[in-house]
Structure 1
Amino acid sequence: MDVLRVFGMALVVLQHWSMPLLSFDEGRIVTGNALATGNAWAITWISQVMPLVFFAGGAAGAISRRSAARRGDTPAAWLAGRVRRLAWPVLPLAAVWVPLPHLLTALGMPAQPVETASRLAGQLLWFLVIYLVAVAATTPMLRLNAVYGWRVPAVLAAAAVAVDVLRFAGGLEVAGLPNTVLVWLAVYQLGFLYADGRLTRPWAMALGGYGTAAVLVAFGPYPASMIGMPGAVSNMAPPTVALLAVGVGQIGLALALRRWIVSFARWPGVSRALGWASERMMTLYLWHMSALFVIVSVVVVGLGISTPAPGTSAWLSGWPHWLLLLALAMWPLLRGFGRFESPPAGRPFTGGAVRAATATVLVGAGLLTFTVTGFVPGVAPLVGAGALVAGLALTGSLARTARPSTIG
C-alpha cells in the first residue's frame, strides 16, 4: 500500500508537469494538453492513478479504524484525528494563496495568468473533498463490509451505471455528479476487501476491468482518455463507469504484481526513498502546481518560450530539462512546507459525534469552496479559509508520537 500511494502521487505530479502545452501572447496564457494528441490517450489508462490512491486509502482506513477500535478510541475521536491530519497541510497553502494573487497583480503581473494560476491551485483540492467523504463514511462502510462483503462495491457500481445512463441518455452533465461519490467509494470499498484478504483473483480483476473499459469505450458513449480533455466529455469530472473499470483493472494488475512490488520495495535504497517520499506526499501534492506556476511565470510568461509540439524532437529533448527546472522549484517548497505534513501532537479528542461531524462538514465546506472558486480574489477564498480554520479548531488533536501515513 505504501508503494501504491507513493507511485500514485508521483504519477499524478509527473502527469501534471508533463501534459501542459503553454504559450503566452498579448497578456494571456493559452493552455493545451499534450495527451490530447494522437494515441496518447492510452497512457492515461495507467497514468490516471486516482483509483489506486483511493484503493490504498481504503485499505489504510480499514486497518487504521480497526486498530483504533482495539485501543478503545471512539469513532468520533478517530474521525476527528483523520480530518485534522487531512486538512492541516492545507493551512499554509491557503495562507499563501489567499493574498498571493493580490500581491502578484500589484507587482505588475498580467491579470489573466494570475487568475488562471489562482484557480488551478484550488482545483487540486477536489481530491481532499472526496477523500474526506470516504473517511467520514469509513466506520459505517466497514460495518456494511463485514455483513455484505463484495455486494457493497457491486451495489455502488450498479448505482454508478444507472447514473451514467441518466447522464448520457439525457444529455445532462449535471446528472453525472452522484458518481463523484459512488465511483470513488466503490474503489475505496475494494480497499476494505484487500485488508480482509478477500481479493484473491487479481488477474481476473485486471483482465475483467480493462476488458470492460475497452468495450465501454469502443461501443459506448465514453471517450478513450481517462483524464479530461479540452472540448470533450470527461471520464474524470464527474467519474464514469469506464474510469471505474480501468480502476478495477489497475488494482488487479497491482495485486497480480504484488510479490515483485514488495520485493522491490525492500531494497535498501528503494526503502529509504519510499520512507522519505511517504512523509512528504501531501506537501508534494498540494504544492507541485505552485512549482509549475513559478517556472511558467519565468519561462513562458517572462522569456516568451512556448511549449514545443508534443512528440516532436524539441519536446522530447526539452522534457527532461523542464522536469529538472520543476524539481528545483519544488525543493524549497518541500523544505518550507513539509513541516506541516502532520499536525502537532496535543491532547486526545474528547468531543462527541456531533462535534466531529460538524468539524468534518466545516472542513469539507472550506475545501469545496477552494475547489470550486480557487484562490481568485474575492470573498469566497476568505469564506473557505474561515470554514477550514473553524473545522480544524473543532477537531482538537490526537496525541501521537509516531507519524502515521498521510492519507491513512
Structure 2
Amino acid sequence: MVDTGLVRRIEAGTAAGRDRAVDGLRAVAILGVVLGHWLVTAMVATADGVAVASPLTYLGGMTWVSWPLQTLAVFFLVGGRAAALGYRRPYRAWLARRLRRLFRPVVVLLAVWTAITAGLLLAGAGPKTVHTVLTLVLSPLWFLLVFAGLTALTPLAMRLHPAWPLLTVAAVDVVRLGLDGPAALGWLNVAAGWLVPFTLGARYFHRRYGWALLIGGAVATVALVRWAGYPAAMVGVPGEFSNLNPPTLAAVTFGLAQCGAALLLHGPLRRLLRAPHAWAAVAVANLSAMTVFLWHQTAMLAVTGLTLRTAGPLPGLHTLPDTPAWPAARLLWLPLFAAALAACWALFHRAETGRKRSVTG
C-alpha cells in the first residue's frame, strides 16, 4: 500500500529544476551492484570455515550476467554530473560537505563490524572465516575512496576531456600487460579509469553522445575480449585475472558503452519520473543509496550465517556453485536477502539521512 501522504510531500519538496532522471540512473546503478554481488558471491561451507566462490568460475554461461549487473561506470557518470551541478565556491567548504555526507555512514559500518568481529572471535570463529567475512563487508569501501578522490577533482573534471584519462588507461595496459611492465603500474588506472565516466558526467552529459558511446564502447569491448585476451567477465572472479582490480581498458570501454546507454535513457526516464509515485520511489531509494550500498553484503552474510547455524548447508546458499541448479536456487534466496537489507536500513539509515536532510536530498 503506497503512502499517498509521503508521495505528496516528496513531490511538494522537490525543486522544480531537479534532474530526476539522474536520481533514477543512480537507483538503477545501485540495484545492479546489489544484485550482482548477491548473484555471483557464494559462501561455501568447508571443514575449516567458509570460503568465497563464484558461479562464474564453474558456469561459463553465466559470464553474461556480469555485463548488465556491473554498473559502476553509471555511478561515476551520475556522480560527475551531480558534482558539477552542485559545485560551489569556496571549494573547501563545498568538498567538506560532500565528504561528510559520503563518509558519515561508513563510521557506523566500521563501528558495528568492529563489535561483530570481536563477537565472532570470542565465539570461536576461525581466522579464515573472519577474514572472508570482513573482506566481503569492507571491499566495497574502495569505491567510496575512489569516488571521494574524484569528487575532490571536480573542478578539473569540469574542464578535462575524457580522452586523456582513457589514453592513460590504454598506455598503462600496453606497458603492464603487453610489455610485461611492473604490475603496480596498473593502480594508476584506478584513478584514470573511473575518471573517464566521471568526466563524461561533469562535462559531456548529453544525449547526443549516447549512440557513439554505446556503439563505440560495445564494439571496443568485444574486440578487446575477443582478440586482445581480456576476460569476458566484467566482475572479479576468484583466482582469475580481473577487469576491475585494477580497471583494465576493457572495463573502461565497457563503461563507455554503459554511459552511452544511460545518456540515451535519460530523456525517457525523466518523462517517466514526472509521475509522483514513480518519483517518490526513486527519491526514497536515493536517500538510502549509501545505506543499501554499505549494508547489502552484511544482509547476505546475516542470512548465510544464521541459516548455516540453524539448518546446515543449503542449496544455493552454502554449496559450491558448480551446477546449473545453483543459480535457480540462489534466486529463491534473494527475497530473504532483501528482507535482511530492509532490517539493516531500518537500523542504520539515520546515519545517512541525518535529522535535517529532506527526503529529496
TM-score (norm 1): 0.77
Aligned to 2:255: 247
| C-alpha deviation, 1:35, in angstroms | 2.9
| C-alpha deviation, 1:31, in angstroms | 2.2
Question: What are the within-5 Å matches in structure 2 for residues 184-223 of structure 1?
Answer: 184-195=194-205, 197=206, 200-223=208-231
Sort the Cα spacing of 1:177 and 1:258 in 2 relative to 1 into closer, same or farther, 3 A: same
Identity of aligned residues (%): 30
The yes-or-no answer on 1:77 pairing with 2:93 is yes
Structure-2 separation of matches of 1:218 and 1:118: 35
The yes-or-no answer on 1:307 pairing with 2:319 is yes
| C-alpha deviation, 1:188, in angstroms | 0.2
Residue of structure 2 aligned with 1:342, choices 343, 353, 361 = 353
Contact 1:307-1:315 at 8 Å conserved across structures: no
Aligned to 1:328: 339
Contact 1:206-1:251 at 8 Å conserved across structures: yes
Aligned partner letter, 1:138: T
1:239-297: CA deviation from partner (whole Å, max 9, x where unpaired): 01111111111111222233332233334432221121111010011011111111111
1:304-356: CA deviation from partner (whole Å, max 9, x where unpaired): 2233646634641x3343111111211221011000113566xxxxxxxxxxx
Question: What are the within-5 Å matches in structure 2 for residues 4-403 of structure 1?
Answer: 4-36=25-57, 37-65=59-87, 68=88, 73-142=89-158, 144-145=159-160, 152-168=161-177, 169-170=179-180, 172-195=182-205, 197=206, 200-300=208-308, 302=310, 303-305=312-314, 306-307=318-319, 309=321, 312-313=324-325, 315-316=327-328, 318-343=329-354, 402=358
Aligned partner letter, 2:75: V
1:118-151: CA deviation from partner (whole Å, max 9, x where unpaired): 2221111000000010111112332x24xxxxxx
| C-alpha deviation, 1:164, in angstroms | 0.6
| C-alpha deviation, 1:187, in angstroms | 1.1
Contact 1:17-1:323 at 8 Å conserved across structures: yes
| C-alpha deviation, 1:166, in angstroms | 1.4
Contact 1:85-1:343 at 8 Å conserved across structures: no
Structure-2 separation of matches of 1:271 and 1:205: 27
Contact 2:45-2:319 at 8 Å conserved across structures: no
1:182-225: CA deviation from partner (whole Å, max 9, x where unpaired): 01011100001244x4x513112111010011111111131111
Q: Give SS of 2:258's match.
A: helix
User: Any stretches of 5+ residues in structure 1 without a counterpart?
Assistant: 146-151, 346-400
Contact 1:22-1:300 at 8 Å conserved across structures: no
| C-alpha deviation, 1:43, in angstroms | 2.3
Aligned partner letter, 1:23: V
Aligned partner letter, 1:164: D
TM-score (norm 2): 0.86
Structure-1 separation of matches of 2:78 and 2:203: 11
Aligned partner letter, 2:186: G
| C-alpha deviation, 1:227, in angstroms | 0.9
Aligned partner letter, 2:85: I
